[in-house]
Structure 1
Amino acid sequence: MAIRTCFSAFLLLLLPLEFIAVMGVTPPPPLPLPECRPIVALDRDLLQFALNLEFLEAEFFLYGALGDGLDVLAPSLALGGPPPVGGRKANLDPIIRRIIEEFAYQEIGHIRAITESVGGVPRPRLNISAEAFAAFFNRAMNTTLSPPFNPYANSLNYLLASYVIPYVGLVGYVGTIPNLVGRTNRELAASLLGVESGQDAVIRTLLYLRANEKVMPYGVTVADFTDRISEIRNRLGRCGLKDEGLKVPMQLGAENRTTSNILSADADSLSYSRTQPEILRTVYGTGDESRPAGFLPNGGAGRIAVRFIAT
Structure 2
Amino acid sequence: MAARPYMSAFLLLLVVLEFVTVMGVTFPQCRPIVADDRDQIQFALNLEFLEAEFFLFGALGKGLDDFDSSSAQGGPPPVGGRIADLEPTVRRIIEEFGYQEIGHIRAITRSVGGIPRPQLNISAEAFATAMNQALDTTLSPPFDPYANSLNYLLASYVIPYVGLVGYVGTIPNLIRKTSLSLVASLLGVEAGQDAVIRALLYERADETVRPYGLTVASFTNRISEFRNQLAMCGVKDEGLIIPVQLGAENRTTSNILSADAGSLSYSRTPPEILRIVYGSGSERRPGGFFPGGGSGRIATLLLH
CA distance, structure 1, for counterparts of residue 67 and residue 151 of structure 2:
25
2:253 maps to which residue?
A: 259
Paired with 1:146 and 1:74, the residues of 2 have a C-alpha distance of 37
Which residue in the other structure is 1:245 paired with? 239
Give the Å deviation of 1:153.
Answer: 0.1
Q: Are 1:298 and 2:292 matched, yes or no? A: yes
**Superposed CA offset, 1:156-208 (max 9, x none):** 00000000000000000000011011000011001000000000000000000
Larger Rg: 1
2:128 corresponds to: 134
Structure 1 counterpart of 2:207, which letter? E
Q: CA deviation at 1:268?
A: 0.3
How many Å separate the matches in 1 of 2:115 and 2:26?
Answer: 31
The equivalences for 1:146-185 within 5 A come to 146-185=140-179
One-letter amino acid of the counterpart of residue 100, structure 2: Q
Amino acid at match of 1:108: I
The share of aligned pairs that are identical, in percent, is 74
Aligned counterpart, 1:210: 204
The reply to whether residue 120 of structure 1 matches residue 118 of structure 2 is no
Count of residues paired in the alignment: 283
Q: How large is the RMSD of aligned CA atoms in angstroms?
A: 0.9
Partner Cα separation in structure 2 for residue 237 and residue 309 of structure 1 = 15
Following TM superposition, by how much is the alpha carbon of 1:30 offset from its aligned partner in structure 2, in angstroms?
3.7
* Pairs within 5 Å for 1:62-81: 62-81=56-75
- Alignment TM-score, normalising by the size of structure 1: 0.90
2:19 equivalent in structure 1: none
Structure 1 match to 2:191: 197
Q: What do residues 252-274 of structure 1 show as CA deviations (whole Å, max 9, x unaligned)?
A: 10000000000000000000000
Q: Could you tell me the TM-score, scaled by structure 2's length?
A: 0.92
Q: Residues 136-162 of structure 1: CA distance to partner in whole angstroms, max 9, x if unpaired?
A: 000001000000000000000000000
Measured in 2, the distance between the counterparts of 1:31 and 1:143 equals 32
Match of 1:44 among 24, 38, 46: 38
In the alignment, the residues of structure 1 paired with residue 33 and residue 258 of structure 2 have an alpha-carbon distance, to the nearest angstrom, of 24
Report the AA paired with residue 298 of structure 2. Answer: I
Measured in 2, the distance between the counterparts of 1:135 and 1:56 equals 17
Q: Which has the higher relative contact order, 1 or 2, with Cα contacts under 8 A spaced 6 or more apart?
A: 2
Quick one: distance in 2 between partners of 1:211 and 1:34?
A: 37
Matched letter for residue 285 of structure 1:
G
- Corresponding position of 1:18: none
